Structure 1
Amino acid sequence: MGRRPAALRAAGLALAGALVLGTATVGWAYWHLNHNIRSVDINSALGDDRPARAVTTPSAPVSAAASPLPAGALNILVLGSDSRSGKANRELGGGDSSGARSDTAMVVHIDAGRTRATVVSIPRDTLVTRPSCPLASGGSTSVAYGTMFNSAYAVGGPVCAVKTVESITGVRMDHYIEVDFSGFAELVDALGGVDVTTTQNIDDDESHLHLQAGPHHLDGKQALALARTRHGIGDGSDLGRIGLQQTLVKALLEQLGGTGLLTDPARLYRAADAITAGLTTDTGLDSLGELMRLGQSLKGLTAGHVRTVMMPVVTAPSDHNRVIAKEPAASELWASLR
């Protein structure tokens, strides 16, 4: 009889140890994911000289015990960049922080109710008037006329990218999300790859991507190459690449909806680690809790209810290798998102 209480005590101690270890592991994982995220205080940098915020609608309650989730319309500027230094980014074709570029720019508009969205791609080769932007080091940049859109990020980082987008669209960006090369590739790998169908052959030695027209299952490195390729399709301009990026966005949304991440904690953690490790946000989204809250508010949004379009453009009269906004179509599109 003496052995049984001893055995029970040992089992109890082992269980208590496992619970403590499990709690510590969860706590460490949360801390790790939280500290992966980098942020920029865009609201403080830009102040009040910005477009008005969209009129919000009441929040949608989750349950009687839970805090209500936001349900108002939302505009998010999403940039893909090579701004992070590090071996992984360099191996994938990225640069260091001193050579930062925004390769991809999308304004994601989420309708009130958060069950439908419009993703508007802005060609990096668009000639714009870049406004004066505040610099972290003090002072500000000069206004630049007829300059390439992606120069905003190069000269003033996320703050100038947001201010330039708001200047040319008249639409307030509620949030900012930037994903670097390695973070994007690792996310695709954490999801088990992504299925896409290309409508034409792609033969691009610069991105090392060679695909025949048809269905493909791509790993992270291949998906990144697809998002960046431009020389192996169409006329080699940024406009052809945008079509591929939009196809990839839809495919990733479908992949996220069908992977069963929430029922597989190990895969969920790998995906979360990949997302947060390559992420820079505004200070309104710079915690795991805020990102989870945003994700929960979008649970009714499916790939079938996401519309992808490109800002209407025409060839620039001053340079046939550049484009400018096509009016009044561009202004009408932005007005529909306010």
Structure 2
Amino acid sequence: MGGWIAVLTTAAVIGTSLTAYAAYYDIYGNIEQQNIDTDSFGDRPNRVEGAMNIMVIGSDVRTGENADYGEAEGQRPDTLIVAHISPNNGRATLVNLPRDLIVDLPACEGQGDTAGMAAQRGMINSPLSLGGVQCQWKAVESVTGIRIDHFVSVDFTGFKGIVDSIGGVRMCIPDPIDDEDAKLHLDAGEQTLDGEESLGYMRSRYGQGDGSDVSRIKRQQEFLGAMLNQVMQGEILNRPSNITGFLSSVTETMTTDDELTLDVMSDIAIAMREVDLGNINFVTTPNGQAPENENRLALTQPQASQLFEAIAKDQSLTGDDDGGDGGGGDGDGDEEQQEQVAPGDVSVEVLNGEGTPGLAEQVGQWLTTEGFQVANTGNPVQIPAQTTIYYGSGKKAHAQALADEAVNATVVENTSLGDTVQLVLAQDWDGFTSTAGSGGGSSPGGVDGTTAEESKQQCS
């Protein structure tokens, strides 16, 4: 559940006040802390001076006050995020690791009353229940190659309290939601969600969109952006009593490692103070259908490794381009003004000539989440030399709307086509463009993301 990152980001953004009021030292004492034996991990990824990586866990533990949300054995991350804070680049990047990811997990020793686990291939969120936070920490480092410095965890009840402490979150709900599993029933329109409704919105999966964890993550990222915008532009920062109430709600339900001290929290807050909302980036790890299980996900390579490497080396995700035309031109020199076409008006067939199994389905899923109408996926009869979008008579603007979302795609007319345009992926396919900061650059190919600034919620 991506909403848990508010525990870190929102608190960090306003947390410069931690050192301003002596009462905050008492608030800090509310936090439950665990010792993590990182020395037992063996070789670990290198640390980059001046940057920090925090593993954020939204725990779905169903005991105590969380028992109302059904039964589940042990605890697993309902959401798992790596929060990369980069003062050197003046930005923060929040990388969602979908819980349905199947990855190679390392062996690890158990913590507390957990047994630990042998090396295996399994879901990215399973080490928490098998070996505790220590196993989850080691697994994330092993899978991503990113050195984790700290962890933060909050459960369902804690998240509700955080939302209620800021007076709810204003959201635009495009369609009515009726999801009994998530205990969520909302009318369409702009409205303020309280803690219970916000938790349901973040948990809701099959009651919205295509029911996938990836589309749910996208909605969660939008919620977080709305929450951060509200905190930064609302009354919380203006009054010490408001800040105290918010931080009390956060710390009463937070678990961290014992090296995440008050001084470290203050350092994070000072760093975050310099980060503009337009430079708080939410990205999802590139993924596609797992070969061994159609209901699970696998990392899409090389895009996932490129993203992880950029985070591990504290490199900017934005490219050197000026944020201009994200897609390819049509090569015919036609400079006349083109009509603007909304994604919902574009019907597209995705054909995979790149060779990676399942890539057409993955691309189709991403296009669906962006509002395009995916008519079909499959393989092409002929593979062009470069990724190409073919269009029929009168559909040039439709093809260009799709090309604007692609890192590299040439637009070519094919008079034999009807209303549906064809996206044929070739060997040079490099994913979709994604604004990853106020500079308007591109994320690594295949990385889907947004910024807190872009997530301002207002119904049209």
Band of TM-score, shorter chain: 0.7 to 0.9
Instruction: Output one character per residue of 1:179-222: Cα deviation in whole Å (capped at 9) or x when no partner.
Output: 11111111111111112234454331111223345433111111
Native 8 Å contact 2:160 2:195 kept in 1: yes
5+ residue gaps, structure 2, are 1-20, 313-460
Answering whether residue 270 of structure 2 is matched by residue 314 of structure 1, we say no
User: Are the aligned partners of 2:115 and 2:131 in contact in 1 as well (CA < 8 Å)?
Assistant: no
TM-score, structure 2 normalization:
0.59
Distance of 2:245 and 2:180 partners within structure 1: 31
Corresponding residue for residue 209 of structure 1: 184
Alpha-carbon distance in 1 for matches of 2:116, 2:77: 20
Percent identity of equivalent pairs:
37
**For residues 277 and 107 of structure 1, what CA distance do their matches in structure 2 show?**
22
Distance 2:236 2:70 in 1: 29
Whether the aligned pair in 1 keeps the contact of 2:109 and 2:117 (CA below 8 Å) is yes
Taking the aligned partners of 1:144 and 1:331, their CA distance within structure 2 comes to: 20
Q: Give the length in aligned residue pairs.
A: 291
RMSD across aligned positions (CA): 2.3
CA distance in structure 2 between the aligned counterparts of 1:115 and 1:274, rounded to whole angstroms:
28
Cα deviation 1:62-87 (Å, max 9, x = unaligned): xxxxxxxxxx2221111101337422
1:294 to partner: Cα distance: 1.9
Partner of 1:66: none
Confirm whether residue 90 of structure 1 aligns to residue 67 of structure 2. Answer: yes
Distance change in 2, residues 1:172/1:95 (3 Å)? farther
Opposite residue 298 of structure 1, the aligned amino acid is M
In the aligned structure 2, how far is the partner of 1:123 from the partner of 1:204? 21
Q: 1:156–1:250: structure 2 CA closer, same or farther, 3 Å change rule?
A: same
Q: Which runs of 5+ in 1 are unaligned?
A: 1-25, 57-71
Match 1:36 to one of 30, 53, 61: 30
Residues 165 and 245, structure 2, Cα contact 8 Å, conserved in 1: yes
**Which moved further from structure 2: 256-265 or 133-142?**
133-142
Matches within 5 A, 1:148-297: 148-285=123-260, 287-297=261-271
Match of 1:334 in 2: 308
Paired letter, 2:297: V
Cα distance change of structure 1 residues 164 and 199 upon mapping to structure 2, 3 Å threshold: farther
Partner of residue 10, structure 1: none
Question: Partners in 1 of 2:187 and 2:244 — Cα distance?
Answer: 34
**1:121-132 to 2 correspondence within 5 Å?**
121-132=96-107
Whether 1:78 and 2:56 are equivalent positions in the alignment is yes
CA distance in 2, matches of 1:254, 1:216: 15
**Counterparts of 2:119 and 2:41, CA distance in 1:** 18
Answer yes or no: is the 8 Å Cα contact 1:82–1:95 preserved in 2: no
| Residue among 20, 43, 52 paired with 1:49 | 43
Q: Which structure is richer in relative contact order (CA contacts within 8 A, separation 6 or more)?
A: 1
Match of 2:90, SS state, is coil
